[in-house]
Structure 1
């Protein structure tokens, strides 16, 4: 079984009105407030092009596929 990496804990101070709005939004989407914050952060990072991408897949091993000959000109 593969172990998941340990999640980081962050202390976050929010304005009470912001927290209340966030909690209502999370409840509307059936998420916890913590999951809603992570969802929003991931979306913002993706939109900004800053979310780290997983490593690229390795190319297949073996002979490359045959390419058809170019059409006569």
Structure 2
């Protein structure tokens, strides 16, 4: 497994609460859910290596 990059993230408290609730619904940690959401957005944009845009 590749080593993960750590970095600080400043986020609006209201947005954090929404993501926290969503993560709980999906049985993920907040960190895991943010990574999932970002990965999906990057895939959809066609910017992830080896992936094509689905649109």
- Taking only aligned residues, the RMSD between alpha carbons, in angstroms, comes to 1.3
Residues in 2 aligned to 1:5 and 1:20: alpha-carbon distance in whole angstroms: 29
**Structure number, greater radius of gyration:** 1
Structure 2 residue runs of 5 or longer lacking an equivalent are none
SS in 1 for 2:50: coil
Cα offsets for 1:43-62 (capped at 9, x unmatched) = 000100001128xxxxxxxx
Equivalent position of 1:19 in the other structure? 16
1:10: Cα distance to partner?
Answer: 1.4
Residues in 1 aligned to 2:35 and 2:22: alpha-carbon distance in whole angstroms: 13
How many residue pairs get matched? 51
Residues in 1 aligned to 2:7 and 2:42: alpha-carbon distance in whole angstroms: 17
TM-score by length of 2: 0.85
Matched ranges for 1:1-73 at <5 A: 4-53=1-50
